Amino acid sequence: MIHSLPHLSLGNFPTPVHRLSNLGRAIGIDSLWIKRDDLGGLLGGGNKVRKLEYLFADAQKSRPGDSSYPTLFTIGPTGSNHVRATAVYGKAAGFRVECLLFRQPPTEYSELNYETICEYAAEIQEVTRVSTLFARYAYQKTKHAFGIGPERYFITAGGSSPLGSVGYVTAVTELKTQIDEGLLPEPRFIFVPVGTCGTMAGLMAGVRLAGLRSQVVGIRVSDWIIANAWAVSRMERRILRLLSATDGGLMNPRPVELWHHDFGKGYAIPTEAGTRAVEMMMEHEGILLENTYTGKTLAGLVHYVQTHGCEDEPVLFWHTYGGGATFLQHTPPQSLHSPPPANYFQTASETTSPHHSDRRRSSCHTN
């Protein structure tokens, strides 16, 4: 069934897996591994690329008989990795992208994403409250359902629809092949951040379908109202239903393992343990994490393993942050699969253009 779903190749898969020997030694987990979805796309994007491969393909075929692409419409906070990836990959794939954003507390990283969104999205609207964001999104979708207003393809927050989350079902098939090839042992635990639930639910469905015994452990990084066991379980069932994988007890709910203790004071508010985890990953392995998702997840991994006394088991950290915001400053993507221009890998400060803030002002509409 998965193979009959439309799919558009945007990223570079399979992503590598390797052992984190130095970090593992430092934190007392002998068999610590990483799945490098940070390297999944030339234009950054992390965990979003796998989701967008299914969503863009579905958008392309959403107007039978019409060869032009619909406008993509999506939502998120101003520093959203998802909105940034949709704007950048969408433009590269030939879509017009519109988005509705709510203002999150600015950090250096969220502002970089915001600048990139302003550069690549065709139209941006901003609201100040999350509740207004969801109300407006629902309003736009309802209008669309009644055939009012412009033709658009709606992509939900985080790309976490059942279809988008299928990207993480196939990610587990990829992981299973790597296990079969002897590149890593079958993990006892797979750790992943939980923002809008699609990545964790896709991994859980994928683990079941691939027949792995691994336990997916979600580290909650967004508010409980969005990231909770009920929402993850419901999303997993919707994915399995979409894939017609409803036989053999697959629909029987399984406990959702969510770790809440490293969330801290709120979404995108760094914690001390998360910040330390970001530093340790850089110091011991030279790999970039950030404070909103992956730093908290590594901190959660350490605390979970210590609390459950499973330091001797194989543990997999699924890296979901693309780090692409810095690659893209003022470098329009030419093609998804061509080599990056020389300045892709410069830092934002090295590529800052004096006209940038002017461009940002002219492309953003706040209300």
Ligand X SMILES: Cc1ncc(COP(=O)(O)O)c(C=O)c1O
195 lies in the site for ligand X, by CB under 6 A: yes
Binding mask 256-295 for ligand X (x = CB under 6 A): -------------------------------------xx-
**Shortest reach from residue 166's CB to ligand X, in Å:** 12
Q: How far is CA 345 from CA 131, 138, 189, 320, 340, in A?
A: 37, 38, 33, 19, 8
DSSP 63-104: STT--SPPEEEEEEETT-HHHHHHHHHHHHHT--EEEEEEPP
- Comparing CB distances to ligand X, the nearer of 166 and 197 is 197
Stretch that binds ligand X, among 2-10, 115-123, 189-197, 340-348 (CB under 6 A): 189-197
**Shortest reach from residue 247's CB to ligand X, in Å:** 26
Cα 320 to its chain centre, rounded Å, is: 6
Terminal Cα distance for the chain, rounded: 43
Task: Tell the residue number behind the tokens 């992503």, with chain if given.
Answer: 15
**Shortest reach from residue 276's CB to ligand X, in Å:** 18
Other Cβ atoms within 10 Å of 47 Cβ, number: 30
Stretch that binds ligand X, among 61-69, 173-181, 191-199, 239-247 (CB under 6 A): 191-199
300 lies in the site for ligand X, by CB under 6 A: no
47 lies in the site for ligand X, by CB under 6 A: yes
194 lies in the site for ligand X, by CB under 6 A: yes
81 lies in the site for ligand X, by CB under 6 A: yes
| 74 phi/psi in degrees, rounded to 5 | -140, 170
Give 8's Cβ-side CA count (13 Å radius). Answer: 22
Residue nearest to ligand X (CB): 195
Q: Provide CB contacts within 8 A for 147, sequence distance 6+.
A: none
Binding interface with ligand X (CB under 6 A): 46-47, 81-82, 158, 160, 193-200, 293-294, 320-321
